[in-house]
Structure 1
């Protein structure tokens, strides 16, 4: 259910329009679309001031608007778009495919694959400049690594620290002038600081380099979505990269793997939900039912919103067809929400009623193929939305230890479920807004504002990370195997 801000390239191929170019956008069109986006967020977001008060949000919006006013342009609008300051990782500001294709073809990208770990940027693969894998990048074109990490827009809830960033793609957009070449300072593996000049690369080469980086190791799971195999005589690895499946299909896949675990008599299990962006929240409990300790476990969540109706009706589109909503479409959407959300006795919230979700089971039964051995869960910043709920459930039920990085969305609630998509009139940018929040484990109060992701029990230290990277091994997986062997 998660949507990212970071220039979603999938839009380049998923929507068809007549050909046009950025040069056709009027200079005042960028500010106009920024103002429209602000108006939509203020009127339509289920709780835009959850993490920052209204006055603070307005100050930040004014600052972003001034950046666009000083330098009106397509990339400047994307980098300074208003979704980036409300603390909602599900709200996104995406690109129009034809416009952004112009940007892609005219941009030179940073040529070295990178990986961010414990606040440092590392070279993540072989390259023609003989810069060793594991070398630490200190500076690119005069920008320190710390400044680079701060400037790249992040998709996360609240103020969660995010390290899973695409440096090579984003670096040309945060530099003042998109360069053809890059000068970097880096620290080699022997500790010596060096300087190198590297040539920018075009998009096809950038894409090639991302597929030949060392990390992530597990590319099979990214393709299959759900994938499992035996690691050693006692340990089984199960990777789940999405919960966005039909429940029947999801169950059949899980049943297959947990039957394998039973047949192999595996005593230890590693479940990997890194880069799992979420999906159907009902599938979370389904997966957990295969590892639950008790015959029944508590699966409790509640939908809530301060905005039931569609208050901003202009520019609404169906994201699948790009067709603008009719009056009937809007009426149907309003009726759907009004029938499923009731006003709370106190406060401004509407909460979902029993008609909302017929898949909701509070006391969820354990599956007959359940695994009761030792279990470790792998998470990272791209563990999001429904996947964060799984991590939260795993932790609250004390099912095992968690290894990796903090999840990108809040451990006690998140925004998600239904979305409204707007195609802004001047830049054709795509603004997506969630319609509800989801509160986990009785967190349904209006004053719920504290947000941390699910915090892992173990984060891989830098020395162990670099050793694994140099050996082309998955650091979190290797660390988990060490824990299980103790």
Structure 2
């Protein structure tokens, strides 16, 4: 009986802790110290973009600013600044799952897009269909939209604090970032202006769980769907096709750990490309946040005219060794030590010196011209692909600046550790992966654009795609010029 009571009180105390609403100064400071200590031990990008002195200055400022107990969201916003200050797009702070059930929590039911200096509804997932796509948002709960977005951008992690990426995620993932700033709401009041209307309206919209938002948005915006690895002929006369790659992941079933379905579908698409005698292939990477790294090589072998290597070096901090290779794995810890024998500045490295095993596909290799469409949502495996391709002289890059750095990224394997008091989850990459770019074609920190094409209001209203229209028109004009 005594054991049962002990277990009962342990469970009760855990539940009370999980639902705790206010944290003392000491508790928040303890979580800050834990976060910094874990980052310095595990994170391969700690002090890579942000100097140690600058980070410590921010840390001390936030530490000393806490003079009274903080609510759950106040603590999140303090600690969140220490996460975004690492300036790495793969590093983020998450709520405790016990507090916010992802399927049940209510979100603001719409998404935004910035065009020039204004913000518009891009997707309305609410029950009210009268707030149509293209409506200009002026304020939410009487807070001017520009001030609101600036708050949300502070909580967005991005490589070297990429301002375009921070703007992109704050608007394209607006419901999630609004929740992080203001918590769960039953409804929000939106002040807006309908397309081509001067009148200002105000309406209250009920917040909804994600399944409900998806249900309404899927019904209204069927034409906006971009199936991953979808292929369509854009212009049969000029032999122009477009391949949508919305992510570098596609599992056929739960045991398809190697993403072999992606490999099969991709091969089928390039078989179709060959059969249809495509001469100009547009690959739409917009909004592709990455995925499974081996799928990069699976794509590039159809595009590259010569053998290629993806990774130059790969390394991790010594302190992360047993976070990558758990002691109970038995054999992997030993294999990891043998594979990463070079050591420097607290890192263990693996360097690729030999010729690549990635060879062009002799049967389905694409011989025509390639065009990559981009936006700030292109990150991780996507920017990896384009940087290697561009360095190999493959394709033209058209659209908006990408979100990921040219040199590589902190990625590969992850550690999700929990802070002791707030229970926030810190998502942390463990590997530093440097791209193999022997020709160093890319000059900037982010991938160089061949043509910058920004999104516009007409595109938002009509769902035309300005960057696709630009690319197709450019191809047609070049073919006409070649005939003259």
TM-score by length of 1: 0.76
Aligned twin of 1:236: 241
**RMSD in angstroms over aligned alpha carbons?**
3.7
1:199 is aligned to 2:205: yes
d(CA) in 1 for partners of 2:329, 2:115:
45
Equivalences for residues 72-111 of structure 1 within 5 A: 72-80=70-78, 81=80, 82-101=82-101, 105=105, 107=106, 109-111=107-109
Aligned twin of 2:23: 27
Equivalences for residues 220-231 of structure 1 within 5 A: 220-221=227-228, 226-231=229-234
d(CA) in 2 for partners of 1:336, 1:212:
50
Shift of 1:310: 3.2
Aligned twin of 2:309: 299
Residue pair 1:239, 1:271 contacting (<8 A) in 2 also: yes
d(CA) in 2 for partners of 1:441, 1:390:
11
Structure 2 gaps, min length 5: 1-13, 251-257, 478-484
d(CA) in 2 for partners of 1:485, 1:20:
65
Aligned twin of 1:268: 280
Shift of 1:363: 6.5
Residue pair 1:298, 1:363 contacting (<8 A) in 2 also: yes
d(CA) in 2 for partners of 1:190, 1:438:
48
Shift of 1:213: 6.1
Identify if the C-alpha distance between structure 1 residues 451 and 425 changes in structure 2 by more than 3 Å, giving closer, same or farther: farther
1:168 is aligned to 2:175: yes
Shift of 1:132: 4.5
Shift of 1:196: 1.9
Q: Deviations over 1:390-411 (max 9, x none)?
A: 1112322332222333222212
Aligned twin of 1:412: 407
Aligned twin of 2:319: 309
**Which structure has the larger Rg over C-alpha atoms?**
2
Equivalences for residues 50-199 of structure 1 within 5 A: 50-65=48-63, 70=68, 72-80=70-78, 81=80, 82-101=82-101, 105=105, 107=106, 109-118=107-116, 120-125=118-123, 128=128, 130-152=130-152, 153-161=155-163, 162=165, 163-164=168-169, 165-175=172-182, 180-184=187-191, 186=192, 188-190=194-196, 192=198, 194-199=200-205
Structure 1 gaps, min length 5: 1-17, 319-324, 444-449
d(CA) in 1 for partners of 2:100, 2:201:
32
d(CA) in 2 for partners of 1:178, 1:451:
42
Shift of 1:332: 6.5
Q: Deviations over 1:262-319 (max 9, x none)?
A: 1112222111222333234333132112122x3x1443422344612338x8xx7x9x
Identify if the C-alpha distance between structure 1 residues 207 and 36 changes in structure 2 by more than 3 Å, giving closer, same or farther: farther
Residue pair 1:376, 1:401 contacting (<8 A) in 2 also: yes
Residue pair 1:172, 1:179 contacting (<8 A) in 2 also: no
Q: How many residues align?
A: 437
d(CA) in 2 for partners of 1:54, 1:431:
20
Identify if the C-alpha distance between structure 1 residues 301 and 115 changes in structure 2 by more than 3 Å, giving closer, same or farther: same
Identify if the C-alpha distance between structure 1 residues 218 and 111 changes in structure 2 by more than 3 Å, giving closer, same or farther: closer
1:460 alignment partner, one of 453, 456, 475: 453
SS of 2:412's equivalent in the other structure is strand
Identify if the C-alpha distance between structure 1 residues 279 and 67 changes in structure 2 by more than 3 Å, giving closer, same or farther: farther
Farther off after superposition, 271-280 or 245-254: 245-254
Shift of 1:374: 2.6
Shift of 1:436: 1.7
Identify if the C-alpha distance between structure 1 residues 243 and 22 changes in structure 2 by more than 3 Å, giving closer, same or farther: same
**Structure of higher RCO (CA pairs closer than 8 Å, 6+ residues apart):** 1
SS of 1:387's equivalent in the other structure is helix
SS of 2:271's equivalent in the other structure is helix
Identify if the C-alpha distance between structure 1 residues 98 and 219 changes in structure 2 by more than 3 Å, giving closer, same or farther: farther
Aligned twin of 2:9: none
Aligned twin of 1:484: 475
Q: Deviations over 1:118-148 (max 9, x none)?
A: 5642112467474453233243334443333
Identify if the C-alpha distance between structure 1 residues 168 and 368 changes in structure 2 by more than 3 Å, giving closer, same or farther: same
Residue pair 2:45, 2:86 contacting (<8 A) in 1 also: no
Q: Which has the higher helix share?
A: 2
Residue pair 1:376, 1:400 contacting (<8 A) in 2 also: yes
Residue pair 1:215, 1:474 contacting (<8 A) in 2 also: no
1:421 alignment partner, one of 410, 416, 423: 416
Shift of 1:22: 4.4
Equivalences for residues 319-398 of structure 1 within 5 A: 328-329=327-328, 335-343=334-342, 349-353=347-351, 361=356, 364-398=359-393
Identify if the C-alpha distance between structure 1 residues 102 and 442 changes in structure 2 by more than 3 Å, giving closer, same or farther: closer
TM-score by length of 2: 0.77
SS of 1:199's equivalent in the other structure is strand
Identify if the C-alpha distance between structure 1 residues 333 and 47 changes in structure 2 by more than 3 Å, giving closer, same or farther: farther
d(CA) in 2 for partners of 1:121, 1:404:
20
Identify if the C-alpha distance between structure 1 residues 341 and 385 changes in structure 2 by more than 3 Å, giving closer, same or farther: same
Aligned twin of 2:432: 437
Shift of 1:117: 4.2
Equivalences for residues 277-296 of structure 1 within 5 A: 277-292=289-304, 294=305, 296=306
